[in-house]
C-alpha cells in the first residue's frame, strides 16, 4: 500500500508519491496503469519525492507511457506545493534530471527558476543542423512544410508558429513530430498563435504523454522561441488549454515561470 496525492497545474495532472524513506519506484507497467484514466487513477505522469545529496530534495518524473522525463515545469510547481503543504517553506532547491532548480513558493502561485534555455542543435538534440541555432527552419511532417524553432529546457521542444491554432489537428500531427527522424530523443511539440502583444496561445503534444492541457517547459520554450522570432518580448503570457503561465526571460539568461498548483485528492495505491 502506497500513499499518494493527485495534483494539477494548469490542468497538467500528476500523481505524487513520497518515496524519501523507502526510495521505491514503480516499474513502467505500473506507472502506465496508474496514469490510465479509465482503469487507474488518471494522470499525465507520476512524480516521486526522493532524498538528494546535492539539493533540498530530488524530483523524478515519469510520463504516462512509463518513460522518464528530464523535467516538467507544471510538475515541479505541484511538487513544491506538495512539500510546502507539509513543511511550510518559501524556497526550495530541487534536484531534477535537468539540474538543480530554485523554486519560490507563495500563497497563490509558485515561481520556478527554470535555468537557461539551450539553443544549440546538438545539445537539444536535433539532427542534421550541426551546432547552429534552429530558428524558423523548415521541417516536413505529414507531407506539409512547417517552420520550427527548437529549444531545450532540459528536455527537447519543437515550437511551430501558426496563423490559426484552431486549424491544427494536434492529434494527427503531434505523434508524427514526436518520432520524426530529426529528433533522436523524440520531442515535445508546441503549436503557437500570437494573439496579442506579448500574449501567446499554445497547444502541446507532450513526448510520452500525448495531448495535455499544459506544459510548463513548453511554455518556457514557446516564450524563448517567440522572442527569437521577434513575435514577443522577454516577458510574456502563455495561454494554455488548462490555464495561464507567466514567463520572464531575464537579463541573466534564466527563464522564470510563474503559475498555480492545486491539490485534487489523496488516496492509496494497492499493488
pLDDT tens string 40-96: 999 999 999 999 999 999 999 999 999 999 999 999 999 999 999 999 999 999 999
User: Which are the contacts of 238, defined by CB distance < 8 A and separation ≥ 6?
Assistant: 200, 201, 202, 219, 222, 223, 244, 245, 246, 247
* Res. 1 pLDDT band, cuts 50 70 90: confident
Q: By C-alpha distance, which of 229, 233, 159 is closest to 196?
A: 233
Q: 217: which residues sit within 8 A by CB, 6+ positions away?
A: 71, 72, 73, 114, 153, 154, 155, 157, 188
Q: Classify residue 216 by its DSSP letter.
A: H
Would strands 45-50 and 210-212 be described as parallel, antiparallel, or unpaired?
A: unpaired
Is 78 designated active site?
Answer: no
- In this prediction the pTM is 0.92
With H, G, I as helix, E, B as strand and everything else as coil, classify residue 9: strand
Through-space distance between the first and last CA atoms of the chain, rounded to whole angstroms? 7
What cell was used for 103? 523554486
Residue 136 pLDDT grade (very low, low, confident, very high; cuts 50, 70, 90):
very high
Instruction: Give the count of beta carbons closer than 10 Å to the beta carbon of residue 176.
Output: 14
Smallest CA-to-CA distance from 177 within 212, 220, 202, 147 is with: 147
Among residues 10, 35, 150, 215, the one annotated as catalytic is 215
Q: How many angstroms separate the CA atoms of 99 and 92, rounded?
A: 13
> Does residue 271 carry a pLDDT above 90?
no
The one catalytic residue among 10, 35, 72, 236: 72
Residue 271 burial (CB count, 10 A): 9
Asked about 10 being catalytic, the answer comes back as no
Contacts of 164 (CB under 8 A, 6+ apart): 193
Quote the pLDDT of residue 5: 98
Strand 91-96 to 99-105 pairing: antiparallel
Peptide bond into 125 cis (omega under 30): yes
Report residue 243 as a C-alpha cell: 490555464
Amino acid at each position: 500500500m502506497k500513499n499518494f496525492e493527485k495534483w494539477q497545474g494548469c490542468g497538467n495532472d500528476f500523481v505524487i508519491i513520497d518515496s524519501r524513506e523507502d526510495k521505491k519506484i514503480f516499474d513502467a507497467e505500473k506507472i502506465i496503469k496508474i496514469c490510465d484514466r479509465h482503469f487507474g487513477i488518471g494522470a499525465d505522469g507520476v512524480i516521486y519525492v526522493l532524498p538528494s545529496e546535492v539539493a533540498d530534495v530530488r524530483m523524478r518524473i515519469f510520463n504516462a507511457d512509463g518513460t522518464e522525463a528530464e523535467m516538467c515545469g507544471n510538475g515541479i510547481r505541484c511538487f513544491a506545493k506538495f512539500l510546502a503543504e507539509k513543511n511550510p517553506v518559501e524556497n526550495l532547491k530541487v534536484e531534477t534530471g535537468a539540474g538543480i532548480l530554485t523554486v519560490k513558493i507563495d500563497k497563490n502561485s509558485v515561481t520556478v527558476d527554470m535555468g537557461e534555455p539551450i539553443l544549440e542543435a546538438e545539445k537539444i538534440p536535433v539532427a542534421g543542423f550541426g551546432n547552429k541555432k534552429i530558428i524558423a527552419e523548415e521541417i516536413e511532417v505529414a507531407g506539409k512544410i512547417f517552420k520550427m524553432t527548437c529549444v531545450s529546457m532540459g528536455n527537447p521542444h519543437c515550437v511551430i508558429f501558426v496563423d490559426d491554432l484552431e486549424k491544427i489537428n494536434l492529434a494527427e500531427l503531434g505523434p508524427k513530430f514526436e518520432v520524426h527522424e530529426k529528433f533522436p530523443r523524440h520531442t515535445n511539440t508546441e503549436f503557437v498563435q500570437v494573439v496579442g502583444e506579448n500574449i501567446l496561445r499554445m497547444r502541446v503534444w507532450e513526448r510520452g504523454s500525448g495531448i495535455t492541457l499544459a506544459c510548463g517547459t513548453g511554455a518556457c520554450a514557446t516564450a524563448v522561441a517567440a522572442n527569437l522570432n521577434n513575435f514577443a518580448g522577454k516577458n510574456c503570457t502563455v495561454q494554455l488549454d488548462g490555464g495561464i503561465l507567466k514567463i520572464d526571460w531575464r537579463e541573466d539568461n534564466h527563464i522564470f515561470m510563474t503559475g498555480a498548483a492545486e491539490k485534487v485528492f489523496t488516496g492509496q495505491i494497492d499493488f
